[in-house]
Amino acid sequence: MRVLGIETSCDETGLAIYDSELGLLAHALFSQIDMHIPYGGVVPELASRDHVRKLLPLTKQVMAEADSKAEDIDAICYTSGPGLIGALMVGASTAQALALAWDKPCLGVHHMEGHLLAPMLEKTPPEFPFVALLVSGGHTQLIDVQGIGQYEMLGESIDDAAGEAFDKAAKMMGLPYPGGPHIARFAERGTPGRYLFPRPMTNRPGLDFSFSGLKTFTLNTVEAAKKANSDELTDEARADIALAFQDAVVDTLVIKCKRALKQTGRKKLVIAGGVSANKDLREKLEAIMTGMGGQVYYPRNEFCTDNGAMIAYAGCQRLMAGHQNDRQIKVQPRWPLTDLPPLASSAKQ
C-alpha cells in the first residue's frame, strides 16, 4: 500500500509518501519557526495561513520525488488531532479534497501515535512491547505499549509539558523561541554545580510530571543573577542556569523512565517527540538502558519534530488493517491517545 501523509498540527507543514513494501519514498518539511520567533511562540492564525500556502507545493514536491501519480497512491492520511484546530482543519480539508478528487480512502491519524511509531522508520525498529516516552512541546507522557493502539498511560504532565518548560525558561533567560536548542547550546558552556535545581516529583511515588515549580525556580534564579550584576544577565550566568535547568528536566525524565521500566518489566524504551533530540537526554537514557540490560530507540533528528513521514507510516498501518474515515472533515484538538482502537495483530508478547 502506498500512502500520502499530511501533517499540519502546529507550526510545521509535513508531507510524505510511504510504501508498505518499499518504505519511505519521499518526505518534505517546511518549518514556520522564523515566522513565529518575533512573537515568542506559535501564533495559531499565522500558522493556519502558512499551511494553506505550503501544502499543495509540498504535495507536488513529494509526488515528484517519489515518482508517483494520483493513480499510484492507494490512500491519504492526515493529522486529525491533537493540535491547533485551524491548522488541523487545513490538513484535513486538503486531504479529504484530494481523496475525493482521486477517489481514494482517507484516514485521520493521531498525532502522538505518529510520534510513538516514528522509530519504526529506522533500520533497526523496536519490537513490541516497550515503554514509550513521548516528550514534546505539548505532551510529556509515559506509555506502556503492547502494540499499535494498545496503550496504557503510565504517567503524564499535570501542567506544562517539558517542551513548553524549555520555551518558557529560555524566554526568562532572554533566549529566542524555540527554547530547547538554545538552552542546549548555552548549557554546553555552563559550569556544573554552580546552580542546583530541583527534580520535581521525583521524591514521591508515581510516574506523573510537573514542571511549573521548576519554571518558578528558574525565574527566581534569573532575577537573583541579574540583581547581582546591575540588573543584567551575563552570558556566563545564562550558560550556568541553562545547564542547571536542562540537567533538572533531563534527570527528571530519566528517573521516571527508569521507574516505568521497573514497574512494567520492559527492556525496551522508545523516546520520541521534539525534546527527544536533546543530546544529554539520549546519552543518559542510553546509559541507564545499558545498565539495565536493555535498549533505547529513537527516530533520527529530522523525525523527532512534527513530520509527514510519521503520519504516513502510522496511517498506513491502520489503513492496511481496514481503518478509514468517511468523507466528513473532522478534527479533534483534544484526543486522548488511549481512545484509539487496537490493532491486535501488531502485538508481540
Looking at residue 348, what is its pLDDT?
44
- Say if residue 144 carries a ligand binding annotation: no
Q: Are 267 and 126 in contact (CB under 8 A)?
A: no
Q: Which residue numbers in the chain have pLDDT < 70?
A: 344-349
- Say if residue 306 carries a ligand binding annotation: yes
CA atoms of 43 and 159, how far apart (whole Å): 21
The C-alpha cell of 50 is what?
A: 502558512
Looking at residue 349, what is its pLDDT?
35
- Say if residue 136 carries a ligand binding annotation: yes
CA atoms of 294 and 305, how far apart (whole Å): 25
Looking at residue 347, what is its pLDDT?
46
Looking at residue 265, what is its pLDDT?
97
- Say if residue 167 carries a ligand binding annotation: yes
CATH of domain 2-117+303-339: 3.30.420.40
Looking at residue 344, what is its pLDDT?
64
Fold of 127-298: Nucleotidyltransferase; domain 5 (3.30.420)
Hey, where are the domains in the chain?
2-117+303-339, 127-298
DSSP string covering 279-346 = HHHHHHHHHHHHHTT-EEE---GGGTSS-HHHHHHHHHHHHHTT--B-S-----SS--GGGSPP-GGG
- Say if residue 157 carries a ligand binding annotation: no
Looking at residue 138, what is its pLDDT?
86
Task: State pTM to two decimals.
Answer: 0.95
Looking at residue 228, what is its pLDDT?
94
- Say if residue 220 carries a ligand binding annotation: no
Task: Look up residue 209 and give its DSSP letter.
Answer: B
The DSSP bridge pattern shows strands 23-31 and 75-81 to be unpaired
- Say if residue 27 carries a ligand binding annotation: no
Domains 2-117+303-339 and 127-298 share a fold: yes
